[in-house]
Amino acid sequence: MVPGTSRLVGTCRVSSPWALGGEKDLSGGRLAARRTGAISPLSLSSRTMLDDPQTQPLTAVIEPVCLAHGVELVDVSVSREPGGAVLRVLIDRERGDLEGEQIGSGVSLADCQDVSRDLSVALDVNEAVAPKIRYRLEVSSPGLDRPLTRRKDFEKYAGREVHVQTRLPLPGEVPAPGANPRRKFHGVLEGVEGETVRVVDGPAVFQIPLAAIAKANVVHRFAQKSKR
């Protein structure tokens, strides 16, 4: 947090233990709940595009809650971590005080808290789409390396440096001798043409189908101060 302001440059984060159904109790001032059941397919994945059919059921529950609080849903992911499963929701809001290539989030800590509270209720009501294991819900801003999870993101951030990872090597991609087929691409995002994202890295131009992208994000580099 920036001293004296509620706006964020980095990431705000609100975490709460949460699972659906079963017996609920108060532990350490946080609402905890337990549930037994099979692991859903989504809970085995890390991050995927929001328009992916695998993510869509969760997105359909989470996005209305975000919109009700005036924030944009950026990303939804479920991952296994040492402390247990985490359902991570990234939210954002445009800031009107930034110019040019400046970036930052207009999301406040209160926004994260409010979305987390209402989202817990929504997931309880729609328990069929939630992870079928005990998990921790985490709501935060996207940070400086903002994920690109929808077509509109690739259009909006054209001209920015990005990192893109595909699910599989691109058709026709010929690896260097002794190298594995390439799945990670780094360069300047030129935008979207049809259903293809263009990424330029020097003389190389990569045409990456949107459907092939596993994850992508903006690459933020802090400006170096000149030495006097």
Paired with 8 in beta bridges are 105
Q: Are 127 and 196 part of one and the same domain?
A: no
Residue-range definition of the domain harbouring residue 122: 13-140
How many domains does the structure of the chain reveal? 2
Q: Are 66 and 98 part of one and the same domain?
A: yes
Q: Are 159 and 200 part of one and the same domain?
A: yes
Q: Are 129 and 161 part of one and the same domain?
A: no
pLDDT tens per residue across span 108-132? 889 999 999 999 999 989 888 877 7
Q: Are 21 and 68 part of one and the same domain?
A: yes
Strand locations in the chain (E): 13-18, 24-27, 30-33, 72-81, 84-92, 135-140, 161-166, 184-193, 196-201, 204-209, 213-218
Q: Are 155 and 183 part of one and the same domain?
A: yes
Question: Would 37 be classed as within a structural domain?
Answer: yes
Tell me what pLDDT residue 42 has. 42
Question: Would 19 be classed as within a structural domain?
Answer: yes
Tell me what pLDDT residue 228 has. 57
The DSSP bridge pattern shows strands 84-92 and 135-140 to be parallel
Alpha-carbon separation of residue 20 from 34, 35, 57, 209 (angstroms): 7, 6, 16, 37
pLDDT tens per residue across span 156-212? 999 999 999 998 888 777 666 766 778 999 999 999 998 999 999 989 899 999 989
Q: Are 42 and 124 part of one and the same domain?
A: yes
Tell me what pLDDT residue 134 has. 82
Question: Would 39 be classed as within a structural domain?
Answer: yes
**Tokens 């946080």, residue?**
30
pLDDT bracket for residue 85 (50, 70, 90): confident
Q: Report the alpha-carbon distance of residue 22 to residue 143 in Å, rounded.
A: 34
Residue 96: give its domain's CATH number. Answer: 3.30.300
pLDDT tens per residue across span 89-106? 999 988 654 444 445 567
CA-based R_g, the chain, Å: 19
Output the pTM of the full model. Answer: 0.72
Quote the distance between the C-alpha of residue 13 and its chain's center: 13
Residue 180: give its domain's CATH number. Answer: 2.30.30
Q: Are 121 and 211 part of one and the same domain?
A: no
Q: Are 135 and 157 part of one and the same domain?
A: no
Mean per-residue pLDDT of the chain: 75
Q: Are 99 and 119 part of one and the same domain?
A: yes
DSSP 195: T
Q: Are 155 and 136 part of one and the same domain?
A: no
Show which of 140, 171, 200 is a domain's final residue: 140
Q: Are 22 and 117 part of one and the same domain?
A: yes
